[in-house]
Each structure stands twice: as structure tokens, then as C-alpha cells.
Amino acid sequence: MRFILASNSPRRRELLSELVPAFKVVPSLFEELSRAGESGKKRCLRFAEGKAREVFSRFPEAAVLGADTVVALDGEILGKPKDGAEAFEMLRLLSGRTHSVYTGVCLVTPEGERKGVEETLVTFRPLTDGEIEAYIRTGSPFDKAGAYGIQDSGFVSGYEGSYSCVVGLPLERVREYIKEMHLC
């Protein structure tokens, strides 16, 4: 059975290659619209489902994996920053604090689907304005929820849970789904 990743994320592509040797990348046309009052956990699962199901509707013979990552602090969802000022504000909020990173995953096949959400608690060390500004100048914050990458920021002092969840694809959960669906 052909395996499809419903994501254009280079980080998800790299992570999935650790589990699935050959797959196709087909970005989803699912429209990611926020809902008022929706928790980060519910939103990332809804978006993962929407992405996977939309691509599956075009490739109904394939196994399709969708994923979505959300950073949440005190119930507020921190998405991808629109500009440097928004990235600065997000990183200033996260400085010296612990927040949740949720990654929802949905694997859809002709035989059914598996879906769930992984949560990892991430703690930032205190950041200086200069560190934040230097990181923003790299351009890295702009394609990442919460304006940072655990793999490239150097801001994280610790985490509880799945490292790959924070990068964008919880490998442990995806491996479990692949086994349950007899795809390996």
C-alpha cells in the first residue's frame, strides 16, 4: 500500500523517513480555520484529521498521515508568527516558563483510521531580548508554532514527553498506529 504524508513540513518528512522508507508527500488542501474557545489539543487533532481526510479523499487506496502541532501557554494557542514583532512577543511570553506542545496525528487507510494527540511539556530558560532578536534574524521562527524549533533555538532547558512531538511528529505514536494498521 502506498504511504502518503499530508504535509509539506521538511521536519515531518525527515522524521517519518525514520519509520517509513518510501512515501509520497502530498500537501493537504484542508483549510485551517480556528474556532473560538477551542483548546490547543482539540484544534491540533481536528487539523490533523482534516489534512489526512482531505488527501485520502484524493488517494483512497493509500495510507495517509496528517499531523498538526500547536504550542499552548495558559490556554492560549501560539501559532506561527506573522512577523518579527509577533515572534518576539511569543518568545518573550515563553521565556523562563513551561508550556505545552500538542501534536495531533491521524492515519487514514481503506481499512479505517487511528488518531490521537501527544503532549510534551517544554520549559524555556530565561531569554534576553538580544537572544530573541538574534534568533528572529535567522528566519527560523516564521514557519513554526510558538515561533521556535526545539532543534535549532537553544532556548529549551528541559522537556517531559516526546522530543519528536515538539519537532512535529510523535514517532512513538505513529509507529504504534502503523503496527496496528499492519502497514509494516
- Any idea which residues carry the catalytic annotation? 68
Helix residue ranges per DSSP H, the chain:
10-16, 40-58, 84-94, 129-137, 163-167, 171-180
Contact 180, 114 (CB under 8 A): yes
Q: Tell me the DSSP string of 134-149.
A: HHHHTTGGGGSGGG--
Q: Are 78 and 152 in contact (CB under 8 A)?
A: no
48, 9 contact by CB (below 8 A): no
Phi, psi of 81 (to 5 degrees): -70, 145
Q: What angle do CA 133, 136, 137 make, to 5 degrees?
A: 90
DSSP string, 86-117: HHHHHHHHHTT-EEEEEEEEEEEETTEEEEEE
- Cβ 104 vs Cβ 145: under 8 Å: no
